[in-house]
Amino acid sequence: MKQKMLNVVFLLFCYASVGVPVGIAFEFHDSHFHLTNFIQKGPSAKSALQVMGNLTGRAALFGLPLQQKWDYALTGERAPDYYLSSKARLYYYSAVDAMIAEEYLSLTLEEQSRFDPMITGFNPTDMYARDHIVQMLKLYPGVFSGIGEFSIHKEFVSGKIAGHAASLTNNALAEILNVAGEIGLVVIIHCDIDEVRPLPDEPAYLSQLKAVFKSHPKTNIIWAHTGLGRLVAPRPEHLEMLDKILVDPDLNHVNFDLSWDEVAKYVVRDEETLEKWAELITRHKSRFLFGTDSVAPKNQNSYAKTFFDYAPLWSKLDVVTRRMVLIDNYERIFDEAQRSVRAWEMSNFETFEDAVPTKHYYYESLRDEVEAQIQMNAGN
């Protein structure tokens, strides 16, 4: 029991001792940052910090759960590096979570404080997806804050994935959202609100989405892109539909990210549209977060493009609303997730040594200091 208490205090110490560098006026936190692309290539986490620079304080960091197959019969020596550059299938790539975790653990504590790693390498049609999430927490305790971004319905992507297509009515998705709620993991879900060719009545997936959201009231959900896509364009009543979700007390655990340059074009397309988006966001300022949706960026210009694409919207928001969308909402949601997930790990792992590999550099570097602090407290 004494050893377990030592381990718990040690873990708390690690997380209480670090923070985003003070004295820097960051422009935003990024709720949607893909470190790797569709062939699992990308910058190191340390390089990503250089790309973020003084623009970004913190970022939800994840890879892409899908790998583009290089099918020689289709493309020969041409190696596809994007899902639209080959007709070959995509498949789920579970190793991406270990890749993200190892990148995170290669950083100093101060550098780690700028990232909130996410688990995304699971198949949302697989009932074992829940086990994968728990296993990643056990292999890498103290690392992950949430799950996602993962996709259910996504234009051009869903039809390319090998195996069964993901569905909002699949029990595997329910189990994923259940375990996220039990542990306190933030969920970032991509699900198009409609088909590319809109249905004549309401959007194809709106009712199912709301039913899923309502079935998991304890799960903190971020619906990516407000359901829009490259070709899934907003209907005239799109903002009205979002407003109905935002005012529904049974859906107050659902948030939205404003991300992806393909979505920005809908928001900033004209003055009237801008005014309507700004009015909605201002009325529900605690429910929106900004994300770049950058994929394996090579430089700050490419990384920050989406932020500047949304600039006309930022100029329409008052200071308080803009601060909440760009900074405060991220901190509230992800700080709460960190506390909840760390508490769950402490309650479910017999001892810290059982869960934390010795290669975690801070385990050795801070342990003696924590032991000394505990002994000092005991003496007082």
Confidence of residue 361 (pLDDT cuts 50, 70, 90): very low
HSE-CB of 230 using CA atoms within 13 angstroms: 7
The label of the residue with tokens 């201002």 reads 282
333: nearest Cα among 258, 255, 281, 278 = 255
The string of DSSP letters for 108-151 reads -HHHHTTEEEEE--S-TT-TTHHHHHHHHHHHSTTT--EEEEEE
Could you tell me how many residues make up the chain? 380
Q: Are 113 and 20 in contact (CB under 8 A)?
A: yes
Residues 121 and 94: their CA atoms lie apart, in Å, by 4
The residues, any chain, with a CB within 8 Å of residue 342's CB and separated by 6 or more, are 11, 12, 15, 142
Confidence of residue 358 (pLDDT cuts 50, 70, 90): very low
The label of the residue with tokens 């004295």 reads 23
Per-residue pLDDT, 127:
98
Q: Are 105 and 360 in contact (CB under 8 A)?
A: yes
Confidence of residue 373 (pLDDT cuts 50, 70, 90): very low
ω into 364 cis (within 30 of 0): no
Condensed to tens digits (0 to 9), the pLDDT of residues 8-60 reads 434 444 444 445 665 568 999 999 999 999 999 999 999 999 999 999 999 99
Per-residue pLDDT, 86:
93
Residues 134 and 347: their CA atoms lie apart, in Å, by 13
Residues 233 and 230: their CA atoms lie apart, in Å, by 7
Average pLDDT over residues 268-282: 98
Element (H, E) at 277: helix 271-283
Q: Given a cut of 70, is residue 76 above it in pLDDT?
A: yes
Q: Which domains, ranges and CATH numbers included, belong to the chain? A: 2-16+30-379 (3.20.20.140)
Condensed to tens digits (0 to 9), the pLDDT of residues 44-53 reads 999 999 999 9
Q: Given a cut of 60, is residue 362 above it in pLDDT?
A: no
Condensed to tens digits (0 to 9), the pLDDT of residues 84-138 reads 889 999 999 999 999 999 999 999 999 999 999 999 999 999 999 999 999 999 9
Confidence of residue 349 (pLDDT cuts 50, 70, 90): confident
Q: Given a cut of 70, is residue 376 above it in pLDDT?
A: no
Cα 137 to Cα 132, 144, 186, 190, 355: the distances in Å are 9, 7, 14, 22, 9
Q: Given a cut of 70, is residue 309 above it in pLDDT?
A: yes
Average pLDDT over residues 127-154: 97
Confidence of residue 212 (pLDDT cuts 50, 70, 90): very high
Helix (H, G, I), strand (E, B) or coil at 157: coil
Per-residue pLDDT, 186:
98
Condensed to tens digits (0 to 9), the pLDDT of residues 314-329 reads 999 999 999 999 999 9
Helix (H, G, I), strand (E, B) or coil at 35: coil
Listed range (76-85, 176-185, 233-242, 295-304) with the worst mean pLDDT? 76-85
Show the tokens assigned to 246. 């935002």
The label of the residue with tokens 């940052």 reads 33
